Amino acid sequence: MKNVVLEELKKIDLFKKDPGLTKEQVKAAFKQALNKIDEHLEEFTYKFPGSSSENNVYPSVENNHEWTTGFWTGILWIAYEVTGDEKYREVADIHVKSFEKRIDEKLGLNHHDLGFLYTLSCISAYKITGSEVAKNSAIKAADHLITRYQDKAGIIQAWGDFSDPNQRGRMIIDCNMNLPLLYWASEVTEDPKYKQIAKSHIEQAAKYIVREDASTYHTYYIDTETGEPRFGKTHQGYSDDSCWSRGQAWGIYGFPLSYIYTKDEELLDLTKKVSNYFLNRIPEDNICYWDLIFTDGDEPRDSSAAAIAISGLMELAKWLPKDDEMREIYMNASKYMLKSLIEKYTTKDVPESNGLLLHGVYSKPGNTGVDECNIWGDYYYMESLVRVLKDWELYW
């Protein structure tokens, strides 16, 4: 693996101390999230919340929308696992049928985000209930995802048609989160092809998307004829050479997920470097701006990037050797961020909102969902809470 800098943590003295986030506080936050979910369960039974809110209210969309409908289903599975209340399972089971239709009819699936969609809706369902419909739908999703593999480039192309010069050979950091679908598919089918593709992709991401200073490009092009690296380019970040906060968070969570299935220790090493870069650029209240080029001032925060990073750091800490002092430091850092989200970023005092977390950003350059709730932020917030509340088995 190439040489990547490990920055020293600037807030190491703070992160050595426990932030004093109590289980009672987390339980209360979870209860408050459940109240919001309950208020909108009926509205989002046959429809789904959109990707991001408008004035903190999600519109309802069909299950052919973008890459994001599975997050609401994932929220319901977490609610079911924690409470045992059948009302969440009933709605989530309805969603599983909807996801079966989505993959059978290929509704809005000309992209690589099958992992986001099917891990949280169907692998979760299969793990919790043993549903065969869910299992088969997720395998079909994995089959569809590997059709995007470019073998000479060794990557899964993120978006669009293979003939489109703007998209050909383009991989993106977000795809780290789509790979667990492939590892899982190899396990359940006993066919190694899915895992081989996932391994090839994560190795290319580690080599080319991560820069030598441990920041990340959002997207990177590889020549699909020669396999030669071409160049990095942003899509949702501030500039091609800045570091988009959510992209860095996808790295913090996605590299350890590939470690779980490959046991490649270098992925954990790399995650530490990517994590330190992120943690060294969070402001006073520990919630990042939408791009890590900003470390103070009035730019919008991205609470969703913080929520992803919290879950990712908790996962990283789990896999570090028991005698590695960074285990505790990453756990503490993640709890400082979670405390801040609970205390200052939830919709608890915004009764008209049907979301959970305020102050996310979908795309600042695209002027979409800026300073709004976004549904993946809500999901990762729930995941962060459940990780503190119980010994939670990953859907990823």
Task: Report, as residue numbers or ranges, the catalytic residues.
Answer: 113, 174
- Applying CB under 6 A, the residues found at the interface with ligand GLY are 67, 174, 236, 246
In the bound state with ligand GLY, the residue whose beta carbon lies nearer, of 150 and 176, is: 176
Nearest distance from C-beta of residue 176 to ligand GLY, angstroms: 10
In the bound state with ligand GLY, the residue whose beta carbon lies nearer, of 215 and 332, is: 215
The annotation status of 174 as a binding-site residue, yes or no, is: yes
Residues counted in the chain: 396
The annotation status of 115 as a binding-site residue, yes or no, is: no
In the bound state with ligand GLY, the residue whose beta carbon lies nearer, of 131 and 157, is: 157
The annotation status of 241 as a binding-site residue, yes or no, is: no
Q: What is the 3-state secondary structure (H, E, C) of the chain?
A: CCCCCCCCCCCHHHHCCCCCCCHHHHHHHHHHHHHHHHHHCCCCCCCEECCECECCECCEECCCCCCCHHHHHHHHHHHHHHHCCHHHHHHHHHHHHHHHHHHHHCCCCCECCHHHHHHHHHHHHHHHHCCHHHHHHHHHHHHHHHCCEECCCCEECCECCCCCCCCCCEEEHHHHHHHHHHHHHHHHHCCCHHHHHHHHHHHHHHHHHECCCCCECCEEEECCCCCCEEEEECCCCCCCCCCEHHHHHHHHHHHHHHHHHHCCHHHHHHHHHHHHHHHCCCCCCCCCECECCCCCCCCCECHHHHHHHHHHHHHHHHHCCCCCCHHHHHHHHHHHHHHHHHHHCECCCCCCCCCCECCEEEECCCCEEEEECEHHHHHHHHHHHHHHHCCCCCCC
In the bound state with ligand GLY, the residue whose beta carbon lies nearer, of 178 and 354, is: 178
The annotation status of 85 as a binding-site residue, yes or no, is: no
Rg (CA), the chain: 19
The annotation status of 184 as a binding-site residue, yes or no, is: no
The annotation status of 391 as a binding-site residue, yes or no, is: no
In the bound state with ligand GLY, the residue whose beta carbon lies nearer, of 174 and 383, is: 174
The annotation status of 53 as a binding-site residue, yes or no, is: no
In the bound state with ligand GLY, the residue whose beta carbon lies nearer, of 342 and 375, is: 375
In the bound state, the residue with its beta carbon closest to ligand GLY is 174
Nearest distance from C-beta of residue 183 to ligand GLY, angstroms: 19
Q: Which residues are annotated as a binding site for substrate?
A: 113, 174, 232, 234, 246, 250, 363
Q: Which residues are annotated as a binding site?
A: 113, 174, 232, 234, 246, 250, 363
